């Protein structure tokens, strides 16, 4: 139907241009009119791929990507209860947050939104989070992955506590870890015994899916 196509294109534009209010309003219309929430989600994934392309070409800056991620997150909140998910499609649960001493949540928010659109369950614990909260939340939520955002170099040593807590709880290998953020690298991953390092949100989706596949 033409009407369906138009509303999906409006949702696509709202996400690409980071219009949070409009994205939510369109998502509400989609639900009210009983359009497919799954089709709408796929359209948002397409929009974020466009945003990613613009960022790669330097047409968009990180603030633009953040706006798009926020618009997608708001629409997703409305659509989520109406999504039809095959049990086979539920690939895993991720606990994500910014490590203790890191109060900037922009990158973490983008990653969380991108993971959600990839079909993963995401539990966002926020910013300035101690290692124990990551581990306790992952245990309570029965999550397979802990994602840690680190933008302040001085806070990297807290990763040692995270790894130690997982070892003491005999969860090493059961709950896998992935790090990202401007303060960390592949070298950090090797140094602290973290399972994966992601260079950006889309790489994080790839690494999380690899960890889940090898669990």
Q: Mind listing the pLDDT tens digit for each residue in 33-58?
A: 988 888 998 898 889 889 878 988 99
Q: Mind listing the pLDDT tens digit for each residue in 166-184?
A: 999 999 999 999 999 989 9
pTM, 2 dp = 0.70
Rounded to the nearest integer, the mean pLDDT of the chain is 90
Q: How do the domains of the chain map onto residue ranges?
A: 2-82, 87-213
3-state percent breakdown (helix, strand, coil) of the chain, nearest 5? 60, 15, 25
Closest CA to 67 of 18, 111, 110: 18
Q: Give the C-alpha distances (Å, rounded to integers) separating 34 from 9, 40, 114.
A: 17, 11, 25
Residues in Cβ contact with 16 at an 8 Å cutoff, skipping those fewer than 6 apart: 47, 50, 51, 68
Task: Specify whether the CB–CB gap between 6 and 56 falls below 8 A.
Answer: no
Q: Give the C-alpha distances (Å, rounded to integers) separating 103 from 7, 114, 122.
A: 37, 20, 19
Domain 87-213: which topology? Answer: Rossmann fold (3.40.50)
CA–CA–CA angle 112, 116, 117 (5° rounding) = 120
| Residue, of 25 and 74, whose pLDDT is higher | 25
Predicted pLDDT of residue 85: 55
Predicted pLDDT of residue 63: 87
CATH dotted code for 2-82: 1.10.1240.10
Q: Mind listing the pLDDT tens digit for each residue in 83-124?
A: 775 544 546 999 999 999 999 887 888 788 778 877 889 999
Task: Specify whether the CB–CB gap between 145 and 208 falls below 8 A.
Answer: yes
């Amino acid at each position: 139907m033409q009407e369906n196509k138009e509303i999906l294109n409006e949702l696509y534009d709202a996400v690409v241009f980071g219009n949070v209010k409009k994205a939510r309003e369109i998502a509400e219309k989609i639900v009210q009119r009983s359009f497919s929430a799954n089709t709408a989600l796929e359209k948002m994934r397409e929009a974020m791929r466009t945003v990613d392309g613009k960022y790669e070409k330097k047409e968009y800056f990180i603030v633009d990507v953040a706006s798009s991620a926020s618009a997608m997150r708001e629409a997703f909140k409305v659509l989520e209860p109406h999504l039809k998910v095959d049990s086979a499609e539920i690939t895993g649960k991720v606990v994500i947050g910014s490590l203790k001493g890191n109060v900037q949540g922009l990158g973490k928010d983008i990653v969380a939104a991108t993971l959600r659109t990839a079909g993963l369950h995401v539990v966002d614990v926020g910013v300035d989070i101690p290692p124990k909260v990551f581990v306790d939340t992952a245990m309570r939520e029965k999550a397979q992955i802990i994602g840690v955002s680190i933008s302040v170099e001085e806070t990297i040593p807290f990763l040692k506590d995270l790894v130690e807590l997982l070892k003491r709880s005999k969860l090493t290998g059961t709950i896998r870890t992935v790090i990202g953020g401007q303060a960390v690298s592949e070298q950090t991953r090797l140094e602290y015994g973290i399972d994966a390092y992601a260079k950006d949100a889309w790489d994080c989706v790839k690494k999380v899916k690899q960890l889940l596949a090898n669990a």
